[in-house]
Structure 1
Amino acid sequence: MVFDLTTVIILMLIGAVATIWWKSKEAQERALLAARAYCKSMGLQLLDECVIQSNWEISRAEDGRRCFIRRYQFEFTSTGHERYFGEVIMKGQRLQNVHVEPHRVSQ
């Protein structure tokens, strides 16, 4: 079987898109685990058991390679009545930081 240059380029693009999608799903799973762990450690309840990717950008890792910085939002509650937002920042496949909005502390 002989492939022309167009076919090879298309196959490479499909492979690149599939790899980016796969790595994105892995990062999302890790962000969900980080959000769960953070909420548990702070006595908060993670709502909806999900994180939603809000944006991403390309940056450089510590070793100089390019990587994606992905931001995921999640909702949590501290009292059971109000919803608050939090954010998980992933740099590549590593957890960078978890932020939460100011919220009421349950008694």
Structure 2
Amino acid sequence: MLTLGNMFVLMVLATICAWLWHNHGLREKALDKVKQHCAKLDLELLDENVAFKRLRLARDAQGRKRLARVYDFEFTVTGEQRHPGTITQFGAHAAIIELAPYPFEIKTAPPSAEIIEMSQWRQEHKRWRP
């Protein structure tokens, strides 16, 4: 027979399960944001994972204190060293992605134009002079 006490325990268990399911979905959204950010910066996300670190109060863009979830992850540039990073989320919205300092190469574009002599250019672009 189902008593009021049993119903209360079942409701508490259902609430805990729903909260865990919701947190898993938020973790997946954080993982997607980190993957996009790493791809944009040409970094490799290690372990394809973000790990929950803590819940804390943090200020959002409007300066209000809100409950934020903080996740840790690791990335690499060269494949040799691991560098830490964090993502802070307010609900389903990523607020801040912070990366530890890491080495990077400055990519220079190959020269797109030829170097020509000034005298040659003047000959080709000669104007009529009186």
TM above 0.5:
yes
1:26 aligned onto 2:36: no
Gap regions ≥5 residues in structure 2: 61-65, 107-130
Per-residue deviation, 1:39: 0.4
Instruction: Report the equivalent of 2:37.
Output: 38
TM-score when scaled to structure 2? 0.69
| AA of the residue aligned to 1:49 | E
1:90 aligned onto 2:89: yes
The verdict on how the C-alpha distance between 1:23 and 1:58 changes in structure 2, with shifts beyond 3 A counting, is: farther
Per-residue deviation, 1:4: 2.0
- Cα distance in 1 for partners of 2:22, 2:67 equals 10
1:11 aligned onto 2:6: no
Q: Identify the structure with the greater strand proportion.
A: 1
- Cα distance in 2 for partners of 1:8, 1:42 equals 51
- Cα distance in 2 for partners of 1:58, 1:25 equals 20
| AA of the residue aligned to 1:14 | L
- Cα distance in 2 for partners of 1:95, 1:19 equals 22
Gap regions ≥5 residues in structure 1: 62-66
Q: Which has the higher contact order (CA 8 A, sep 6+)?
A: 1
Moved over 4 A (4+): none
Query: Alpha-carbon deviations, 1:68-103, whole Å to 9, x = none?
Result: 521111100112211100111111122121111111
The answer to whether the 8 Å contact 1:84/1:101 transfers is: yes
Identity rate, percent: 26
Farther-moved stretch of structure 1 (34-43 vs 49-58): 49-58
Matches within 5 A, 1:71-82: 71-82=70-81
TM-score when scaled to structure 1? 0.83
1:51 aligned onto 2:42: no
